[in-house]
Amino acid sequence: MRPVHTVTVALTGASGLPYGLRLIDCLIQAGTRVWVLSSQAAQVVARQEMQLSLPSRPAELRDWLAERSGATPGQLEAFGREEWFAPVASGSNPADAMVVCPCSMGTLAAIAHGMSDNLIERAADVTIKEGRRLILVPRETPLSVIHLENMLKLARLGTVILPPAPGFYTHPQSVDDMVDFIVARILDQLGVAHTLLPRWGEQGGEQADAS
């Protein structure tokens, strides 16, 4: 896996916005540069799930996320849905990896079929064609045949499909613990160091799912 210095994080309208915001915080704390994309539906989810008013203007979103995460100047940037001159829109300047978290089934379908109607879809398309790591965190249940076929198509292209299904062998004591379980898995896929959970074989990680 190539070193990860810059990660694009896209927030879409699926349930699970706490995962995406926590991921941004952890990436910033790890010293990673983060480029943030956000859909209009993500603003609705923010109000519904977290009682947050997610700024719609990219500059305001950047400032809000930077203050929240403690980002240093230039470490975090946000781009609008039709900002076609953003770095993520071109294979000449892609991020090292991209995470769509949470990922709506509409966004997943658009990516699977090569759509580029907005910057999130275009950035994902660029990530795939440039052979960079793409991680999708889809939150839907049950899954239809359409959903599964789209996921399979993307998995065959090397995309990581990472449903936010927390394990309980770590004995979570709060919703935050369950969020951290998923964020830890995303960071592992990115190769970004963290201490959110104990490693298997370490104290507190001695129980696991039976296979």
Is 14 marked as binding a ligand?
Answer: yes
List the one residue out of 193, 140, 203 whose CA is nearest residue 29. 193
Residue 185 known to bind ligand: yes
19 assigned binding-site residue: no
Closest CA to 100 of 174, 151, 63, 32: 151
39 is in an annotated binding site: yes
Exposure letters 159-187 (e unless 16+ CB within 10 A, then b): bbbbbbebeeebebeeeeebbbbbbbbbb
Ligand-binding site membership of 170 (annotated): no
Q: Is residue 169 marked as binding?
A: yes
20 is in an annotated binding site: no
Rounded-to-integer distance, Cα 157 and Cα 30, Å: 28
User: Within its chain, how far is the Cα of 171 from the centroid?
Assistant: 24
* Binding positions: 13-15, 39, 104-107, 139, 169, 185
* Binding positions for dimethylallyl phosphate: 169, 185
* Binding positions for FMN: 13-15, 39, 104-107, 139
